[in-house]
Structure 1
């Protein structure tokens, strides 16, 4: 019994370390769960506890402890790389709100209005982009999509097993497709504002040609801002519904 206890301790620590490497890396980049506004100690504690919860379910998937230090480091970096790749790809998905917010701000004439974005490590962005990003994170919690994100962490072990080699080329292609998809979703979210901007600017240009003595910019600029705010309020539900659907589909990709 004494030998069993001595053998069990290092093996359990090895399995726990391998699980924490991937789970911690994914949670570090996961939207809603890995935001910089959440205290670092709280995020670390959550990652450690989640690893402990998933330990009985995933311990059988971790290979035996390598006998050499090089094999141990190689397996550790494999799990870190998989966690970072998956977390980064999901993080890229939520950047659709940044694209949509920047387009909305430009078309509404408020592209110069900047605000600190809590979801982008305190960096400044257009006020519409900051609002949409923060609202998106709030809706992820409100609609329980963070539960799907936690399930995706568990299901990632069936997609990328610890013994399988890292498919770097496939990962790069997936990153490119995710960037294109995030940009496409941002364009689709802000499509009504693109049409509004084209019509409004075309009308302003025609008016300026018909009445050269009229100061079109100073007259129509407040109207542009007001119309943009009204349109934003009317279409906000549609925009965020489209965003949540796209985010759920990306999470479902890791579960299927």
Structure 2
């Protein structure tokens, strides 16, 4: 028998705030294709699983004054969102790399529906985004995120609001590191596009009467798709390695 059912429910809700805030923006779990009920049940299940581990930490703030409890709810939610936002920023980076690759190889297809979100994107970007997310799930990145949230109760006590400066530094560092990694992943395609366009431009100078743009586009696309075929395995491998490097650094 639970001696204080009301306190237990309020402590569970505090755990749900941090975990639910992380899942709300975490890649995969925040997808529009995942029903809201499933996301809610996953967050509740994780909260129930972690509550006994941090009962002594969560129960005292849950039984505090109402105004203190409301402030604690806000701080716990923001803490969870900051953790999930770092992973979200990195997963969005593959869309940036896919857009660069599509422009470099002249893959200018009409946008189609995104697999994970209610937006439109080209087929190459959707392929890279799907493969990258699958690789992260295969490597149990969601377990890594849950472990990080659980360990955050030690580094960021309950009710302690994450500093605005610290959060901003974490987000900007994640953005900078993501930009460098995605630029490195797309660098072969950037070099390919530059070399191909330089060669086509030189040929066009020698034979200006030939419409080389329309003639060269299929060859640029064929070479780019061949480059994707040979580099996509290494690209996804470096993408997965970069995630753990960035998250450990933060």
TM-score tier by shorter-chain length is over 0.9
TM-score with structure 2 length normalisation? 0.93
Aligned residue for 1:180?
Answer: 176
Aligned partner of 2:78 among 74, 77, 81: 81
Q: Is the 8 A contact 1:98 1:186 kept in 2?
A: no
CA distance in 1 between partners of 2:127 and 2:67 (Å): 47
> Deviations for 1:204-252, whole angstroms, at most 9, x for unmatched residues?
0000001112221121110000000000111001111111011122343
Aligned partner of 1:60 among 56, 60, 65: 56
What secondary structure sits across from 2:28 in the alignment?
coil
> Deviations for 1:28-61, whole angstroms, at most 9, x for unmatched residues?
1111233221111111111101110111112222
CA distance in 1 between partners of 2:165 and 2:228 (Å): 40
Structure 2: gaps (5+ residues):
none
Determine if the alignment matches structure 1 residue 130 to structure 2 residue 129: no
Q: Is the 8 A contact 1:20 1:48 kept in 2?
A: yes
Aligned pair in 2 of structure 1 residues 244, 182: CA closer, same or farther (>3 Å)? Answer: same
Determine if the alignment matches structure 1 residue 100 to structure 2 residue 97: yes
> What RMSD, in angstroms, separates the aligned Cα atoms of the two structures?
1.7
Q: Is the 8 A contact 1:102 1:111 kept in 2?
A: no
TM-score with structure 1 length normalisation? 0.91
Aligned residue for 1:200?
Answer: 196
Aligned partner of 2:241 among 226, 242, 245: 245
Aligned residue for 1:38?
Answer: 34
Determine if the alignment matches structure 1 residue 24 to structure 2 residue 17: no
Q: How does 1:138-157 map to 2 (within 5 A)?
A: 138-157=134-153
Aligned partner of 1:164 among 157, 160, 163: 160
Aligned residue for 2:218?
Answer: 222
